[in-house]
Every structure is written in structure tokens, then in C-alpha cells.
Amino acid sequence: MGNFEVLTTDRRTDARLGVLTTSHGSVETPVFCPVGSAGAIKGITPQQLKETGSILILANTYHLLLRPGVDVVEKLGGLHKFMSWDSPILTDSGGYQVFSLSNLTKIDDDGVEFASHIDGAKIYINAEIATEIQNRLGADTIMCFDQCTPFPCDDSQLEKAVERTIRWAKRARQAHTRPDQLLFAVVQGGINPSLRRHCACELVKLDFDGYAIGGLSVGEGHDDMIKTVSLLTKSLPQNKPRYLMGVGTPADIIDAVTAGVDMFDCVLPTRNGRNACAFTEEGYVRLRNTTHIQERKPVEVGCDCYCCRNFSRGTLRHFFNVGEMLGPILLSLHNLRFYQRLMERIRQALKEGRFSDWAAENLPRYKTFYR
């Protein structure tokens, strides 16, 4: 048996319930991964993170390479010890930073030269280097180096990025030295259907442990993103996990699960939490608003998170207004728990054979609140 098993599929959609097996335990899918770019989920202890229901988390190769450096992480016992996390960890390759730090990069067919966003120092990453770094960091699931393009992007630029991504994936596969780590390829191609299919087809020939869908949620909009995802899930193997990178809102996740995606990551829960914005079943709650000054109810009635069990909206508003660090921490905890509760409901609906009905009932509300 491989590292991924589909346990059940929805009768009326492409949604599926699965289990991903890694060196640090198994993960039920669909799953949402909190993002800890520099080796920590901002403001959240590992124990608190566990209490939100999080199992699989993400760290960033580029940021850890800059600080503290791969040698330091190794000397401190590897990434799991470094992050004090005994469950599975996923690392991205730095390919997203090719897009997000494009004003600091020079790209050629071999790789990418970055000017560090910290001090301008030159850093070179290619397929082999990105793979070696991730091998040394020791995450359970690692990504091939890829070229993430902006939106909009002309077809000639997209085509060049796709061909580089395919070549780099071949080189990453050859450079990969740790059989205890799962290696995922990243499918690129913007919202161009033929380029997406071509990229997926060439990567599938190489038989990776899983396939990530990159280059989305960069400005193309929800409908084009889901159209692209739906196209790709039909082009990717049924017996391999599918990971939609950097996505997204609750509506994005439900639509992508419906299309057959298994794994997600996004900074939204913690980023919004740090900015006094809470996810709830009735939409955003903005804690800085004056309407909450004397509000005694929690962020969300019925939520079982530490924040909602212990603090009122009025208290939280005060924390944010006086710059008390507890405010962002508590709201990040709530938002992380909101996302994990969403994933738990999705998985439960799949187990009970009612996912399509559940999605039809809940998706319109989420699209109204969170698009």
C-alpha cells in the first residue's frame, strides 16, 4: 500500500475522504495546514496549536534558509525538534517566493537568484539546492522547486515557467535522497487549460508521491481558480494526494474539496486574527468596531476554542485597542479552530455519505460572507 489511501468518495461530486501516511503519523484528509513560515505559527505555542485540532503544519524553505539557516536547524535536532512538533510537517520549496519576491529575483533555466529581503544578500536556489535543503530540514512532505507566475501572465511567459517547472521536477526527483520523505511535484500553468494539462501529464509520468496545484490564488478570482482546479483533479492520479497551495477562504476550500482536493494551507486564519478579524458562521466579526465595547458574548457562540470559552468580545476589543499581544493570539486561536472545525465537518459529511447535501446547504452562506 502506498502513502495515501482514498477511504470513500462522494456519490455526486469528486470529493473524497482519505488518509495520508507520513513518518510522523497519519493525517485524515481533506486537511488544512496552518502556516509557520519561519518555524512557528505566529504567536501560537505548539500545545495551543494541537488544541485547535491541527495535525499537519507548514514551514517555509526560503525563510528558514535565510534565518536561522539549515546548519542551525540541523544542529538543533532537525525541523520537528526545532518546531517542537511531533506530528507531520510539510515544507514548500521556495517556489512561491519566486512570485511574491519577484522584484528581488533573477530567473534563468537553471534556477533563481534571490536578493534577500532582509539584507540584500545574494542567495541562489535551484531544483537540487531546494531539495537538499528540505532533505536536511527533515519535513515529512517536501515540494519540488517550481516557478510560480503572476496573474495576469501572457502565454509565452506561462509556457516558459511550465517547462522550467517540469525540468526542475525531474532534477528534484533525481536529487531527492530521503525515502522517509514524500516528494510532491507542483503543477503550474496559470489558468491556461492546455498548459495545465501538459504540466500535469508530464509530472504524472514521473510518478511523484503527491501533486500540488500551485500558481493560484494570485489574483485570478474564485471562479477561474475552481475551474482550473476541477480540470486538474481529472488529470491527476486518483491514488495520489492533491494539494492546493495557499488557499484559502471557506468557500474556496469547500469548492476545491468538491473538485477532489485533499490538502490546503493558508495564512488567512492567523493573519486575520492578528488584524482583529474573526471568522464565524455568520461572517466576519471585526473586533475593533465600537459595537463590541460592552459586548459580553464570545466571538462565536457555540465555538469550543479557548478564546470563546474564556473571553468576551468586549475584552478582546480592549486588548486590540491597547496593543495587548493577547488579543492577536486569542483571535488567531479562534480562527485556527474555526478552520479545523470546518474541515472536521467536511470529513464527517464525507464519512456519512452526505457531503454534496452539506456543501449545497453551507456553500451559499460562505460565498456570501467570504468571497
Q: What is the rounded distance in angstroms from the CA atom of residue 46 to the CA atom of residue 59?
A: 13
Q: Which residues contact 58 (CB under 8 A, 6 or more apart)?
A: 33, 34, 35, 36, 37, 89, 90, 91, 92, 265
Spatial CA neighbour of 356 closest among 8, 6, 86, 61:
8
Active site residue 92: yes
Say which of 10, 146, 255, 265 is annotated catalytic: 265
Residue 19 grid cell: 488518509
Instruction: Determine which one of 92, 146, 252, 262 is catalytic.
Output: 92
Classify residue 162 by burial, with Cβ atoms within 10 Å: 0-12, 13-18, 19+. Answer: buried
Distances (CA, A) of 191 to 150, 196, 233: 11, 7, 14
CB 158 within 8 A of CB 169: no
User: Is 180 among the residues known to form the active site?
Assistant: no
CB 11: neighbour CB atoms within 10 A?
10
Grid coordinates representing 191?
489558468
Residue from 58, 41, 67, 93 nearest 336 by CA:
41
Query: Measured between alpha carbons, how far is 262 from 333 in angstroms, rounded to an integer?
Result: 23
Catalytic residue set: 92, 265
